[in-house]
Structure 1
Amino acid sequence: MSRTQTGAVSTSTKAGGAKPTKDQVPRPSASLVIINDKDEVLMVQRTLQASAYAGVTVFPGGNYDPKQDSSIKMTAIRETFEESGLLIARPISSSSSQKMPSDAELDRARHEIHSNRMLFKDFLDQHGLELDVDSLIPFTEWVTPPDYPRRFHTRFFVTFLPAASSTGFKSGDKRERIPKPDGSQEVVTTRFLHPSVAFSENRASKITFMPPQIYILATIQDVFSTFPDRTTQHAKIRELSGGLFGKMVINPRKMDANANGRGDAVLTYEGDETRGGKKGRLHRSEVKVGKGGVSTVALRRNFDIFTEIESDWFNNSLEEQEGNKAKL
């Protein structure tokens, strides 16, 4: 199980922006993978005017803000609220008279928080809410390569609906609930997609992804297809989170074109035969680079992510990131 080879997966995006700064420290960020009771995953499409990853379909998320966030999990929940309207929170009081915010109050708060006219914490306090951070489980970390103009160290978390306490939509298209900051929009669509549907739309060039989204969606799809029972699916995803998979800090590195004999470039990950793994072990994405940017062709992962990840693959990565991670 989980020996993944996801073929014909395409991703196109322009890097753009300024030239990379030498030794640029990746910005801490967080992204939330929300799985509903229909095995669908919440995804948002970024606006074409976005400063990073314009037009790409991603999991909701964004940068850690020390003025707004007391933890990186709070970042994941706040950004998800701003981008989708879905709030992973619960009433502090168990009183039956406790009321959750109305849709109008949620939308108004999203505008205020997004434009920094309101602190997320103050909104929660006003409505007697606390974040359901315990429902978030780690599901890999990704660090943008050094030669990119904007670098991020993104922690990905998974949570399940309806197990998580939440306010907002739970399934299907919800295109009208998008953030509406003054003068611009951060995302243009917000909806739940089954991984198989997401990959189908990707192959048809209806939506585009980045390598982390492909990697995580392919992993979830593997679990769904191997274990049809939803209770077992969730248990297996939690098992991955609690093991070495959930702790992986992935630093993609680009190999030379023609490295695989087909003229494609290759993004390698820790544990690949070129990155500390044994001979023949593949942990990589094959990509094509064109005028439109980077196109990910296939994820190649020929080992079992439950039993065959080795901790020493990531020792250097973990040490390199320890400084930033300690405060979050």
Structure 2
Amino acid sequence: MTPIRPAATVLLLRDGDAGLEVHLLRRTRGMPFAGGMTAYPGGGVDPRDGDTDVAWSGPPPSVWAGSLGCDERGARELVCAAVRETFEEAGVLLAGSPDGAGVVPDVSGEEWEAQRQALLTRELSLAELLAVRGLALRSDLLRPFAHWVTPPQETRRYDTRFFVAALPDGQEARDVSGEADEASWLTPGAALAEMRAGTRPMLPPTVHTLGQLAAFPDVAAALAGSPPEPLSPISPTFEETPDGRWAVLPDGTRIRLVVPLPS
């Protein structure tokens, strides 16, 4: 059986003129997993994400373990992976002063970029980056949102916790990921409309979580609307019908699968 890798994904949110907007990346077509698909910043857990010396502000791993339905080490790894991946793939760092009084306002510039690249190549761990900068991870900026597990028949499997977080004041999400060829802010409704038109293919977890986000008028409501704890894992099954291929969720929800258009 294909091994399952723990992973974290972050739905980075802001308030726009048309309402709640979410930061989306289109993965490059050559990627071995979800190439050509629109997704959120995120990725697999790095073993060093479980470092106990990471500077931490906000609810501790023991509290997150209850929210995420895992043990304390697993919670530490997932929250750290969420913060690390958001910085690596969107240039946004959910960190601030160790006393929790503020969020780092600007993470642009050559030195920050060199450190982001060092995280990508694993020359630097998140704990080391925070220590060098005198910062602490801000777990209070994240909220648990969803839990998806890749079905057994897939060749790459992930056990992924989805988080929501507001874009910190003073920071800008940037198109910095080598794994994406497009980055954009869209309302959930606009993103889903493009998906239904066939111009923005997505995997079922992205479709479903965008539908959940569409119920919230703004960032504050989305952060306050976290689901009951612990998160219930969702693993879809698939069915073929004359009108297409569908992902079927445990509650009976059916999501049409859209294949990326040829380049």
TM-score, L = length of structure 1: 0.63
State which of 47, 54, 76 in structure 1 corresponds to 2:28.
Answer: 47
User: In the aligned structure 2, how far is the partner of 1:95 from the partner of 1:64?
Assistant: 28
User: In the aligned structure 1, how far is the partner of 2:213 from the partner of 2:32?
Assistant: 28
State which of 144, 149, 156 in structure 1 corresponds to 2:150.
Answer: 144
State which of 175, 183, 186 in structure 2 corresponds to 1:190.
Answer: 183
* Contact kept in structure 2, 1:85 and 1:106, CA below 8 Å: no
Q: How does 1:1-328 map to 2 (within 5 A)?
A: 23-38=1-16, 39-70=20-51, 71-92=77-98, 101-162=107-168, 168-169=171-172, 174=174, 177-179=175-177, 185-224=178-217, 230=218, 234-235=220-221, 238-239=224-225, 241-243=226-228, 247-255=231-239, 257-258=240-241, 262-272=242-252, 283-287=253-257, 292=259
Q: Deviations over 1:172-223 (max 9, x none)?
A: xx4xx413xxxxx222222322112222333444322111111000111133
User: In the aligned structure 2, how far is the partner of 1:148 from the partner of 1:169?
Assistant: 35
Q: Which runs of 5+ in 1 are unaligned?
A: 1-22, 180-184, 225-229, 273-282, 295-328
What's the secondary structure of 2:47's corresponding residue?
Answer: coil
Q: Alpha carbons of 1:201 and 1:269: their partners in 2 closer, same or farther (altered >3 Å)?
A: closer
C-alpha RMSD over aligned residues: 2.8
Deviation (angstroms), 1:66: 0.8
Q: Alpha carbons of 1:264 and 1:94: their partners in 2 closer, same or farther (altered >3 Å)?
A: closer
User: In the aligned structure 1, how far is the partner of 2:13 from the partner of 2:152?
Assistant: 32
Identity of aligned residues (%): 28
User: In the aligned structure 2, how far is the partner of 1:95 from the partner of 1:142?
Assistant: 33
Deviation (angstroms), 1:24: 2.0
Deviation (angstroms), 1:102: 4.4
Equivalent position amino acid for 1:209 in 2 = M
User: In the aligned structure 1, how far is the partner of 2:84 from the partner of 2:183?
Assistant: 15
What's the secondary structure of 2:29's corresponding residue?
Answer: coil
Q: Which runs of 5+ in 2 are unaligned?
A: 52-76
Q: Alpha carbons of 1:168 and 1:293: their partners in 2 closer, same or farther (altered >3 Å)?
A: closer
- Aligned match of 1:303: none
Q: Alpha carbons of 1:263 and 1:42: their partners in 2 closer, same or farther (altered >3 Å)?
A: closer
User: In the aligned structure 1, how far is the partner of 2:21 from the partner of 2:105?
Assistant: 28
User: In the aligned structure 1, how far is the partner of 2:260 from the partner of 2:101?
Assistant: 53
Deviation (angstroms), 1:160: 2.0
User: In the aligned structure 1, how far is the partner of 2:112 from the partner of 2:203?
Assistant: 30
Q: Deviations over 1:117-138 (max 9, x none)?
A: 1122111111111111122111
TM-score, L = length of structure 2: 0.78
What's the secondary structure of 2:2's corresponding residue?
Answer: coil
Q: Deviations over 1:59-91 (max 9, x none)?
A: 100000112444201101101111111111112
User: In the aligned structure 2, how far is the partner of 1:112 from the partner of 1:133?
Assistant: 22
